[in-house]
Structure 1
Amino acid sequence: MRVLKQVLAVAAAGLVGSRAVAAVQDDPWLTLLLGTATAVAALLAYQWVVRRTERRDVTELARAGAGTRIVRGTLVGFAMFAAVIVTIALLGGYHVHGLGSVTGVVGLFGFMAAAAVTEELLFRGLLFRLVEERLGTWLSLLVTGVLFGLIHLANPDASVWGATAITIEAGFMLAACYAATRTLWVPIGLHFGWNFAAGGIFSVVVSGNGESKGLLDATMSGPTLLSGGDFGPEASLYTVLAGLALTVVFLGLAHRRGRIVPRRRPVDAPAADVTVS
């Protein structure tokens, strides 16, 4: 019941905001305003419901150092996507034809901020964290990563391969990022930096949601394993490999910092036999 209340509170804030943003997408400045407002509302809803149901300080959203952590995550996400696009371009799968829409960048900033904040609060802040308390880091990463991939099957040009790619490169990677940092600000920044680079700068399809009108006028071509096809470059094999590499890096950091949570042993489970002969 506690988990349900938490998920519903954050999801409600995100759902209302996302519908408002979708309704004004033709107005980039209004999209920026409503997208930012949605992100703030989701953060406030998360903090309120966690304090109310868990009776604790919301340390994963501590204000101290929040700005630095968001910037750090954003730079990592942006750099990761830029590296993928450069690789695809060198292999002939990404083509720039000129400048796109500057005002489009403004609207996409708000849209991506709302999506990144809401999804990270739900999947890493609530689901990963709460499942981890019971099942430990490894199983929680697996379960919530798969769930994150599955919800992307609802997107317009979704595919089983696209959802699988999202599971590996984003579901696992963002959970590992949270495990390593134990703050939501870094994965929020990483998620935003990735999405904004994709749609707002490089103007490619983001998770099967159609072409974005960002800063560059660009197109993609080539086989799905290179370009990602209709789902966008997130379904490219090179993106999967990049996400997998970053997942390993974050899990290594989590291990070194002693932040890997073991699976909880049932209260009535017999203790291990430690008799010394």
Structure 2
Amino acid sequence: MEWFYKFPHMNDDSLRDLKKAIDEGFRTFTRTYGDAIESFFSPLQYFLMQAERFMTQTPWPIITLIILAIAWFASRSWKVVLACLVTLMAIGYFGMWDDTMRTISMIFVATVLSIVIGIPIGILMSLNDRLQRTVNPLLDVMQTMPSFVYLIPVVMLLGIGRVPGLIAVVIYAIPPIIRLTNLGIRLVDKDVLEAADAFGSSGWQKLKNVQLPLALPTIMAGINQTIMMALAMVVVASMIGVQGLGQPVLKAIANQYFTLGIFNGLAIVGIAVIFDRVSQAYGRRLQKHRETVHG
């Protein structure tokens, strides 16, 4: 009756041999192709370093004005702009400016990369049901897998540093933009598409002039969620050398520095609120514009 109380499983020797074979195969792959993979990502490293250099070496008043101008353009709300100003001033006053700028540069590059990769995948999924059925389970796995797990293959392939952290952040943060791009295009009114067909629009013209503009508020919601998930990954990515607000939080956890952890944690929250309010306000503006045009 032992089988009734203890779940039958592969014997220990076979399981150990299987794990050993998989680990050896992965190590062989990294030794063989590691340098080629690293050189493939070198343009990404250059882009990330330039973004970080711009954010950290540009005088703080200029960076503040740029962020406030973006907030105003996106929201057209003085309340949002004032909230951004107060948050940035508090971050600077408590000595977290440089780490915050590094974090913002990381989030910016991760978001740009997610948009460049995610929106085309979402468009293809919206045009092909079979591709949607194939990609959806992969997105489910990406969204449910613990964030720490992403670090293992990335570190084994590329080592410790900014680029491995960036790739882990992108893998963790990209599913919402893919899903919501697909959803937004599929939710476009069929009558509008029939009208476009009646005017003789090609598939590309219909996508560019009708489907994408109408799906833009939904796509913006996907970008908002991607930014939030990228920020949530900041502390985890700091474990493999990503500089920014995550490293002081990690240091505070390791050494029980309460105020260091709280201040930097609040700075991450402040950035998250800025990004969230600005992107949501822009999405609402797009929605109102869409309703005005088509209402």
Same fold (TM over 0.5): no
- What is the TM-score normalised by the length of structure 2? 0.33
TM-score by length of 1: 0.35
Indicate the structure (1 or 2) with the bigger Cα radius of gyration: 2
More helix by share: 2
